[in-house]
Structure 1
Amino acid sequence: MIITGPPAPTAHPLLRLRLAPHSALPQRLDGVWWPHSYDLLAELPSLLAALPRAWGHIASVTVNSAAWVAAPGRMFVCNQVVRLRRAVAPHAPDTVVLLAPGHGRWDLLVVPPDTTAEEAGPLMTAAVGDRARGRQE
């Protein structure tokens, strides 16, 4: 198991995340995340720290095994154990699935890290709609 502390403030100054507006109806995507790299050990702590408290403790993260750099089966993030699962999902290769027992499941579209800002902005807006809340670079 890898233990990580809070994200380093100089590592990646801006978390590139947009969340879909809250809705009582099921939605295909709950947000869009544009990580700076495919290194889960570097990217995941910042993402999890920025999620709404209402989402609860994220206990499991599933990523596409083909896209992400190899990572251990679990890691300690901000004083919590998070299981890392890898899946090959041909129907949804660019998503991250977050599970919080007793709270629910959230699916985030992943914009590839090497995407330019000019390309990423419209992708993120289109994926979650114009009323998205969150932070974007």
Structure 2
Amino acid sequence: MTTALQPQLPSQPVLRMRLAPRSGMPRPIDGAWWPRSYDLLAELPSLLAGLPRAWGQITSVTVNGAVWSEAPGRMLVFNQVVRLHRALAASAPHTIVLLTPGRGRWDLLVVPPDTAEKAAEPLMAAAAAAAGDQG
């Protein structure tokens, strides 16, 4: 009898995200995300899958339209419609805004995909630092 080897399933890349500790105080940035590309349709599902359950179902996402690739006005992620908005505001060009009705808004720093790991790690750590630890 021969034994057939099971083909290895492609592994999902590790989500590169750091979130700030929960606190009662509002924060300007709730953490950092380091996507592998600016293709929102490819990157958004893994981001949403890695968010804390306490954040609820994200229904709206806003990104900088000057940097992210074109995307439709909405997409289906895990059987949930997520509305996609593209802002051109220069006030926060490297952020992604996530909204959940009745639960809140979360702003994540977006570390550019082509950033070297040596430079990305300190950026992510600083964005996820506790509010009292920020200088």
The corresponding residue for 1:86 is 86
Does the Cα contact within 8 Å between 1:12 and 1:36 map onto a contact in 2? no
Distance in structure 1 (CA, Å) of the matches to 2:58 and 2:130 = 26
Unaligned stretches of 5+ residues in structure 1: 1-8, 132-137
Greater Rg over alpha carbons, structure: 2
Give the TM-score, by structure 1 length: 0.86
| C-alpha deviation, 1:10, in angstroms | 3.5
Give the TM-score, by structure 2 length: 0.87
Change (3 A) 1:94 1:11: farther
User: Residue 44 of structure 1: SS of its match in structure 2?
Assistant: helix
Letter in 2 for 1:74: R
Change (3 A) 1:112 1:12: farther
Change (3 A) 1:94 1:12: farther
Distance in structure 1 (CA, Å) of the matches to 2:111 and 2:11 = 19
The corresponding residue for 1:101 is 101
The corresponding residue for 1:26 is 26
The size of the alignment, in residue pairs, is: 123
Moved more, 121-130 or 67-76: 121-130
Distance in structure 1 (CA, Å) of the matches to 2:92 and 2:48 = 21
Q: Which gives a bigger RCO, structure 1 or 2 (Cα 8 Å, sep 6+)?
A: 1
Change (3 A) 1:11 1:73: farther
User: Residue 69 of structure 1: SS of its match in structure 2?
Assistant: coil
Letter in 2 for 1:127: A
Q: CA RMSD in A?
A: 1.6
Residues 7-46 of structure 1 aligned to structure 2 (within 5 Å): 10=10, 12-46=12-46
Does the Cα contact within 8 Å between 1:60 and 1:100 map onto a contact in 2? yes
Q: Deviations over 1:23-69 (max 9, x none)?
A: 10011111100000000010000000111111011000000000100
User: Residue 106 of structure 1: SS of its match in structure 2?
Assistant: strand
Q: Deviations over 1:72-126 (max 9, x none)?
A: 0000001100000000121100000000001000000000000000000011111
Q: Which runs of 4+ in 1 moved over 6 A?
A: none
